[in-house]
Amino acid sequence: MPNPPSGKTAHRFYKWELLVLLFAAYFFHQADRAIFGVVTTDIQNDLNLSSTQIGAAQTAMFLTLAIMVPIAGFVGDRFNKKWIITGSILFWSVATMLTGWVGGLLGIIVIRSIATAGSESFYAPPAVSLIAAWHKNTRSLALSVHQAALYIGMITSGAVAGWIAMNYGWRVTFYTFGGVGFLVGLLFIFRLKGAPGETAAPAPEKNAAAAGAAAPNEKPLSVWRTIRTLVSKPSVLLLTTGFVAIVFVNNAYLSWAPKFLQEKFSLSPAAAGTNAMFWHHIAALVFIMIGGSLSDLMVRRAPRFRVGLQCTAMLLGAPLIFLMGKSGSLAVVCAAMFLFGAMRGLYEANTQASIFDVVEPRMRSSLVGLMIMTAFLIGSLSPLLLGKLQDVYGAAEGLSRGFVILSASWVLGGIAVLSCALFTFKRDRIVENS
């Protein structure tokens, strides 16, 4: 059914309840992805799979996500977001549990790609659009809190999944996380609401007409007109390029960082998973909250602050990714993971908030879908790339070389976001009513 203006029936603090609900959902959304990387070695040994095969399975999952997510974006702009999000949570939780029953490479590809990625893709576009609709003056902070669930999910999965796998086997890990996620989905049936009506008013600046601000209560554009409108904005293309670079590195890190520490420094699966997920994501958690709060404060006086912070974080983070691959010291690698996580947090505090500054509310779910599609079509190749490098150079050396190569993508992404800040953002910007 079409999405009703449900904000009229919500209590005054509902926007924060919404954030708590979506935080819980995103926690299991990301933990599901992370636990596969944590128990990769156990899966390889049990099912007799090569690193290239594991990398191919991850690539297939990310490709499926890329194909499905734009469909989810267009659906999210046209139908009730509550039921799209709730259905996605229930479906992917069942798929996570089914991962524990697979018996070979084909089973992993089918379950992880078709079921898990196909259902998870329907979560992000409507979820971030829903947060943006309820949080206008606290948008960066709210989206940062939501993104923080990713980091907490990674930290928790690194420790808990490693412990469960070591004591009860890797299959029980998937049963556990999937089962709890399913219970969260049931809660959404009763507590989640759809989006209130959104409006966008012309900006008071001279360039407001060029920004194309939407009139109140405008209906969604057609699919093809939405695509044409989005790709015609240089700021959208440049900020999407930066996001592609982020996802390219994140996918590789999530898939292989635990094994990298395990092979290079002879750590146990639990120790490797904990170190790989904890140091990086605890820093990201702290700095995304700093970045979100700071951005909401500064953007009122300096509208380009969000994109400026993003390009700075990427250009400072690239050498840290390089150091992760080259250093032979566990302490130095963990320190680099921590600082790399801090830069990631500063960037991701504004992933959606910055691009929403140049896009009308009625196209935001579609935008997120197209962004994720583009990022994961390209970013899906990074797990396969690092898997192939391992088979050629050995696990430790191959992953070291892989992280060195990955650092270049952050340089390119940082340059793209910097170009937006300097040349296109002011012209494309849209200002909404509070």
Q: What is the tens place of the pLDDT at every residue in 73-127? A: 888 888 888 899 999 999 989 999 999 999 999 999 888 887 777 787 888 888 9
pTM (global) more than 0.85: no
Tell me the pLDDT of the chain averaged across its residues: 86
Look at 204 and 420; give whichever has higher pLDDT: 420
Q: Which of 232-236, 272-276, 297-301 has the lowest mean pLDDT?
A: 272-276
Type and span of the H or E element at 46: helix 40-47
List alpha helices for 100-169, DSSP H: 105-109, 118-120, 124-134, 139-168
On the question of pLDDT at 202 being above 50, the answer is: no
Q: Which of 153-162, 215-224, 265-274, 315-324 has the lowest mean pLDDT?
A: 215-224
Cβ atoms of residues 269 and 42 within 8 Å: yes
Taking only the tens place, the pLDDT of each residue in 127-174 is 988 998 888 778 889 999 998 888 887 777 777 888 898 899 999 999
CA pair distance 67, 57, nearest whole angstrom: 16
Residue 218: which pLDDT band, with cuts at 50, 70 and 90? low
CA distances 363 to 54, 85, 214, 399, Å, are: 36, 18, 10, 39
CA pair distance 424, 428, nearest whole angstrom: 6
Whole-number pLDDT of residue 197: 55
CA 191 to chain centre: 24
Closest CA to 278 of 358, 345, 334: 334
Which residue ranges make up each domain of the chain?
14-428
Residue 46: which pLDDT band, with cuts at 50, 70 and 90? very high
CA pair distance 3, 76, nearest whole angstrom: 9
Average pLDDT over residues 395-422: 96
CA distances 428 to 117, 174, 295, 417, 424, Å, are: 33, 44, 19, 14, 6
CA pair distance 34, 346, nearest whole angstrom: 21
Whole-number pLDDT of residue 269: 76
Average pLDDT over residues 286-296: 93
Q: Which CATH architecture has domain 14-428?
A: Up-down Bundle (1.20)
Cβ atoms < 10 Å from Cβ of 232: 11
Taking only the tens place, the pLDDT of each residue in 279-288 is 998 999 999 9
Taking only the tens place, the pLDDT of each residue in 246-264 is 999 999 998 899 899 999 9
Percent of the chain at pLDDT > 90 equals 53
Write out the DSSP string of 408-426.
HHHHHHHHHHHHIIIIIHH
Structure tokens at 8: 């009229």
CA pair distance 275, 359, nearest whole angstrom: 38
Cβ atoms of residues 69 and 373 within 8 Å: yes
On the question of pLDDT at 406 being above 90, the answer is: yes
